Structures are given as structure tokens and as C-alpha cells.
Amino acid sequence: MSNALEITTATFGETTGTGVSLVDFWAEWCGPCKMITPMINELAEEFDGKATIGKVNADENQDLLAQHNVASLPTLLVLKNGEEVNRFIGITPKEELAEAITTAIG
């Protein structure tokens, strides 16, 4: 089973710079973040080879929160070639995220 990729400040640009990515900004203390983790891992498996599914630990990568105007957790960004094309805040249905990823892939 594929798990979401751990993304840090050092790897963000390289990881999300080409293709389509879903990035989950989360924190250990965030209850809703923990609730969506299994769904994020399922998306990582379903989109393996088609899109990058990753997680950013908000506590360890605060500069990324500032760069991407993340004020609430969880925040999920859909990026295409490094540019934000969609944003979801809070618990979002898996189908909605999958549709956003599929749309971005084209």
C-alpha cells in the first residue's frame, strides 16, 4: 500500500514543480487531520504514477504555511507544475479531492 510522501521545505519545489500534486498541510495535534490521513493514503495509492500525493507537517515547515497562505488545518492544495489550481480547507470528501486531481491532470 502506498502512503503519501512526506514533503518538507527542502523538497517542496522539487516534489511539486512538475505534474500534478495534492499537498496535505497537517499537524499531529489536529484531530481532523488525523481523520483524513487514511483517505490521503488511499488517494496516494489510486493516483500512483499519475499524481504526487504528499503531506507537509505544519509544525516542522512553518515557512511553507506562510508561502502558501495556509491559516487552517487541514488545508489541501492541488498544484499543477508548482502552481495552485485548487484549495480545500477542512475535511473534504475523497471524491471531491479525486475529481480535483483528475481535472488538474486533464
Q: How many domains does the chain divide into?
A: 1
CA distance 47 to 70: 24
Convert the pLDDT of each residue in 12-60 to its tens digit: 999 999 999 999 999 999 999 999 999 999 999 999 999 999 999 999 9
Confidence of residue 2 (pLDDT cuts 50, 70, 90): low
Whichever domain contains 16, its CATH number is: 3.40.30.10
Convert the pLDDT of each residue in 91-106 to its tens digit: 999 999 999 999 999 9
Q: What is the pLDDT of residue 85?
A: 98
**Which grid coordinates are listed for 80?**
499543477
* Residues noted as catalytic: 30, 33
